[in-house]
Amino acid sequence: MKYYIVIPSHNEEKFISLTLDSLAKQTILPSKVVIVNDNSIDRTAEIVQAFAEKHPWITLVNKTSDAIHLPGSKVIQAFQKGQETLDEEYDFLVKADADLIFPDIYFETIIRHFKSDEQIGMVGGFAYIEKNGDWILENLTDKDHIRGAFKAYRKACFAQIGGLKPAMGWDTVDELLCKFYGWKVVTDESLKVKHLKPTGANYNQASRYKQGEAFYALGYGFFITAIASLKLAMRKGKPLLFLDYLKGFWKAKSENKPMLVTPEQARFVRSYRWKKMKDKLF
Last residue of a domain, one of 127, 162, 195: 195
Same domain, 74 and 145: yes
- CATH code, domain with 21: 3.90.550.10
Give the pLDDT band of residue 69 (cuts 50, 70, 90): low
Residues 212-261: tens digit of each pLDDT? 999 999 999 999 999 999 988 898 888 889 999 999 999 999 999 999 99
Cβ neighbours of residue 260 closer than 8 Å, sequence gap 6 or more: 165, 167, 169, 170, 173, 217, 218, 219
For the chain, what is the largest distance between any 2 Cα atoms, rounded to a whole number of angstroms?
56
The confidence band for 66, taking pLDDT boundaries of 50, 70 and 90, is: low
For residues 130 and 244, membership in a common domain is answered with no
Domain co-membership, 164 together with 227 = no
| Cβ neighbourhood burial of 168 (10 Å; 0-12, 13-18, 19+) | buried
Query: What is the pTM (predicted TM-score) of this model?
Result: 0.90
Structurally, the chain folds into a number of domains equal to 2
Same domain, 142 and 269: no
Question: Does residue 214 share a domain with residue 167?
Answer: no
Are both 162 and 234 inside the same structural domain?
A: no
Task: For residues 149 and 61, state if they share a domain.
Answer: yes
Q: Phi/psi at 35 (nearest 5 deg)? A: -100, 120
Identify the domain containing residue 16 by its residue range: 3-195
Q: What is the pLDDT of residue 200?
A: 55
Domain boundary among 195, 223, 257: 195
| Nearest alpha carbon to residue 4 among 112, 149, 128, 152 | 152
Q: What is the pLDDT of residues 1-34, one digit of tens each?
A: 999 999 999 999 999 999 999 999 999 999 999 9
